[in-house]
Structure 1
Amino acid sequence: MQIARQFAAGHSRIRIAGQTNCGAAVTLNRGVRAATAEYVAILNSDDVWAPNRLDHLVRALDRDAGLDLVASGLSFVNDEGVAIRNAWYEEGLDSFIARRDPGLALMDANVLMTTSNFVARRRVFDELGGFADLRYAHDMDFGLRLALNRRRIGFIDRELLSYRVHETNTIKENHAGVRVDWAMVASFFLWGLSHDEAANGARVQQAWQILEKHGLTRAAQACIAYFDANPSGSLATNGLPADADMKSKLLLAV
């Protein structure tokens, strides 16, 4: 905070807000609500933007009024900032680009990886709501919410973000918890697709195949039953993420 205040000194456009730790989604939503400009860009504390990243992504939004969010390719670095390979990401990115269906691609592999990769129009949050209070998959959920609502996600296939991999990454702390969040997020997307079976029949079938591939079918069936009984417009406004009993059952299913 002290460094941020020093950097902001003399720059009236920079506003700094502090708070106790209340989780990523809550913090991001507070930041978005405080934002007043046309675009919102997010950078988490352990990631690094390339110096020209915002130039490229904002230019894409300026050129195409139909884009709602733009992301880029990314590289991976370790604790010391040394570049490392990530075969999972490389394979997932190839599938994301080739599939030409962002929703199904993100269900299969969340190659957007992190909210640090998001540059979005501010109005999108007003129209679709903020981030769901999920520990591991709020970024994936937001991407799938855009896809479900037929919003366009732009992608620049250049490494304009460095994602830091270390032993304290949130995503590494609880593998079963990650899979529960993944199941909830993917299932809500599938549940939304199924509301228009005539238009989305093939995509629904593919979505179930993706869930089967990752061993999430049982958990998805339980989630969809929950959504049928407790419908909502998004996972951010649904009771499932806060339902401890259901999450305990999902842990047994993933």
Structure 2
Amino acid sequence: MPAHRHEELGAFAAILTQLLPGAWTHQLRRHTAYDDQFFLTSDVWDMNQVAEAIAATTLMHDAILTRDDGLRLFLMDHPRHEDTFLIAAMAPADTAAEAFRGVPEPDGIAISDDPEQAADAITTRLLPRHEAALAHVRDNAARLTANAPGPHTVEMTWTEDGSLTAAATSDEAARILAANGFVRDSDRQAYVLSSDDTAVQARHVRTAGSQLAALGIGVALRHPAAHPAIDTTPVPVPRQHAAGKARSR
């Protein structure tokens, strides 16, 4: 890549930081080897023309524009048009992959080498998509954090046969579970409470919960993740026998 192209990209990035709304800085980066670019561009949040350009181009340099709130944009030369650049959102770092589930990529755009036109296109087209996607991801991440069991929480999960599995987080928790009908299952790495008698099962859960709470250990009761419906799969008949046995006692 000619040296003047590197300088042009850096100068263009610097001008954009002055024209975009908010306080921005920029970082111009060189790539020393073709394989390096895939590591250095791994956060580019695009499944369209920018991702295609990165995959098909030997990328010698790029620029990262960072707003004072941490939002980042990725800037590169357009591989086929010298008077055009490509710019894309960058995904937030250190965010669980699960938080991105269901969030459309805020795909990048091609921009003119006229800084004012480029800044206008970024402000009106790319940034709104980027900010909406970020808000969605952060909301997902907050929900995942809120639902995650803490270090002092025993998570109990219903299984398909009506039994309960529990993950003991300490020796004290394991002792209480074992004393209340939970049996250690080494294959599942969990304690299992049978559904043979639902009245007894409920009593064990209440007693274990009270004893755990007395030690400052919480209990989170989970239902198994629902399986997606398949048209050709018959709907199972609701299980009645366990409840029936409990009522008969």
State if a TM-score over 0.5 links the two structures.
Answer: no
TMscore range, shorter length? under 0.3
TM-score (norm 1): 0.24
- Flag the structure with higher strand content: 2
Structure index of larger Rg: 2
- Flag the structure with higher helix content: 1
